[in-house]
Amino acid sequence: MKTFGSYHFYENNPDVGVFATTSLGNMGFSKTDCQSRTLIKGSSQVLRCTTGSISSLVDWGILADFEDPFQCARDPTNLCSDYLREDLLHQIFTKHCLGQSTCRIQDLQQMVKKTPKAAQCAEPSARFFI
């Protein structure tokens, strides 16, 4: 019971009693966490896994300033969907994040293709989500 209690799967769930935190259910689960940052020059995103390692990239994208800032899944109708440098993010994620407990994705503006049509996607007010 002491071993299971050392994990934190239920720590942000007030509806779960103390007995659940000392059970096998408190160990070994994965949790998806969506984070976002503005594209201010030099901005970066830190990914962190408190009990284990980062195992996959579920989704990511960039939202123009007029799109829903709380969106955390790519939609083909988003302005920036066609201008994402997916190959670059996957390369950075695989090299620096996969299997790690923490990593930092630097210079978020580089995730936007350099084209005049993508100008709004590289604005400081645009948001990178992962």
How far is the C-alpha of 85 from the C-alpha of 114, rounded, in Å? 10
For residue 90, the model assigns a pLDDT of 94
Q: Name the pTM for this structure.
A: 0.71
Cβ burial of 121 (10 Å; 0-12, 13-18, 19+) is buried
How far is the C-alpha of 78 from the C-alpha of 63, rounded, in Å? 7
**Do 13 and 46 fall within a single domain?**
no
For residue 1, the model assigns a pLDDT of 46
3 vs 38 pLDDT, higher one: 38
pLDDT single digits (tens) 79-89: 998 999 999 99
pLDDT over threshold 80, residue 104: yes
**Do 65 and 21 fall within a single domain?**
no
Domain range spanning residue 47?
32-129
pLDDT single digits (tens) 57-75: 888 999 999 998 888 888 8
Of the candidates 114, 103, 113, 115, which has an alpha carbon nearest to the alpha carbon of residue 130? 103
How far is the C-alpha of 10 from the C-alpha of 14, rounded, in Å? 8
